[in-house]
Structure 1
């Protein structure tokens, strides 16, 4: 893996903590002195909102503008559209125009690789590029999977969320087979965990039993905490909002594991080259 690692944060079910995880993982990696770019890839623009940009629909420089340039002219100016946030990482926001781009993708050649082409010019400038996917398995998410090295799947410890996880894993495997042989599941991340409930404990057990044999399930869970929700509401990461909380600690642990995984992958890549 000679360039920055691209990680898609994805689940077709909404409300499982994709944006919260995208923002706080980006912030956590930045605190580990990593250069990080967060791409908001959801027309709702929630990553931008969670960082204090309250009106993404009024923003001129977004991922939809950049992708439109690539579709029309096979080149784009991405570097001048990047926002340097107060959290220490970079951001490319999204807004509702991204839905139009998804419709446009259905009617062009190489529809799965537009985002990959967009990121080529900046990938080697970052240690990590995090993509906050929209809650669907449509063409935008397929674009994210086609350019990603791995996928983190946030899932709540509840039955419907766990059932949807299987559909998502099947989509990841199809993309791996058809477009992106390097794509892997970084891990299934249990979010909004509440070990005090019997249902939460039971679903947690089922997730490990059903998926743990084939995919990594992060031992570290993100707890259900008011402070995590409040941090997004005021436009800050959990580290800026409440750095001493167990929510901040959980995202610190996640960032550390993701960072260590990337270092091991780089070492394996170098070892392969030198053999």
Structure 2
């Protein structure tokens, strides 16, 4: 089972879009995919019409029942989507309390990794959608993953957020004694603007081989797909956004 974490310490850069788009393509290819929503705002959950506040189980259960949660209880927390093989472990606003109530407890940084290990035979790929805040949730997501995908909007302020994210991973890497396989994804790219062109050039200069050579373009079909609660590859398969994420997936799966 592969575990990919989609993270950036800046909001609005395309983390949830990236999670949904990759998850949809993988599921369509016959992979068993679990998307984990660790953001208290629950954008990934709501994308698929899941109101975690109305559910009896969510990813919050994983944390409050740790370390005793069983594989069956993890599976009980999952919600299906309209697409076969694609599941969501939904978020809830209660996640926002974890740093205050459990953040200092021993072993809290490995809760998600241990829970996912109990269902590793149920899924081929897990994609974790992170909140844009460094805390126990992002620490768990980074500790659990084999690869970090960092969507970065091609504009100046987003590049500042990327700088913080890279520093965070360096600090965490030393703490966890692991190096992160990192892929930086230029998103919301508009080739008509000088700002986007300059931002992409700076990405390539500053981060070199860690930057995917392609781009995810601005595409209004991403928003349209969310209205029908489907990945863009299902709702609008012949669009620029789908082509971009299909090419990215080829790189990620190598």
Instruction: Tell me the distance in 2 between the aligned counterparts of 1:44 and 1:35.
Output: 25
Is contact 1:67–1:118 with CA below 8 Å preserved after alignment?
A: no
Is contact 2:49–2:229 with CA below 8 Å preserved after alignment?
A: yes
Q: How does 1:240-255 map to 2 (within 5 A)?
A: 240-255=234-249
Instruction: Tell me the distance in 2 between the aligned counterparts of 1:103 and 1:120.
Output: 26
- Of 128, 134, 139, which aligns to 2:136? 139
Which sections of structure 2, spanning at least 5 residues, go unmatched?
none
Is contact 2:62–2:112 with CA below 8 Å preserved after alignment?
A: no
More moved, 124-133 vs 172-181 = 172-181
Q: How does 1:91-170 map to 2 (within 5 A)?
A: 91-170=88-167
The structure 1 segments of at least 4 consecutive aligned residues displaced by more than 4 Å after TM superposition are none
Query: RMSD in angstroms over aligned alpha carbons?
Result: 1.5
Is contact 1:149–1:182 with CA below 8 Å preserved after alignment?
A: no
Report the alpha carbon displacement of residue 226 of structure 1 after superposing the two structures with TM. Answer: 0.9
| Residue in structure 2 matched with residue 74 of structure 1 by the alignment | 68
- Of 178, 188, 191, which aligns to 1:195? 191
Is contact 2:3–2:126 with CA below 8 Å preserved after alignment?
A: yes
- Of 54, 58, 65, which aligns to 2:61? 65
Instruction: Tell me the distance in 2 between the aligned counterparts of 1:151 and 1:125.
Output: 22
SS in 1 for 2:3: strand
Report the alpha carbon displacement of residue 102 of structure 1 after superposing the two structures with TM. Answer: 3.2
SS in 1 for 2:229: coil
Instruction: Tell me the distance in 2 between the aligned counterparts of 1:172 and 1:232.
Output: 30
Instruction: Tell me the distance in 2 between the aligned counterparts of 1:184 and 1:252.
Output: 20
Which sections of structure 1, spanning at least 5 residues, go unmatched?
262-275
Instruction: Tell me the distance in 1 between the aligned counterparts of 2:134 and 2:100.
Output: 13
| Residue in structure 2 matched with residue 87 of structure 1 by the alignment | 83
Is contact 1:147–1:180 with CA below 8 Å preserved after alignment?
A: no
Is contact 1:40–1:93 with CA below 8 Å preserved after alignment?
A: yes
TM-score by length of structure 1 reads: 0.87
Is contact 2:8–2:152 with CA below 8 Å preserved after alignment?
A: yes
| Residue in structure 1 matched with residue 220 of structure 2 by the alignment | 226
Report the alpha carbon displacement of residue 182 of structure 1 after superposing the two structures with TM. Answer: 5.1
SS in 2 for 1:229: helix
- Offset from partner CA, 1:88-126 (integer Å, 9 cap, x none): 311111010111223223131112111112111012332
Report how many residues are paired: 251
> Is 1:175 aligned with 2:176?
no
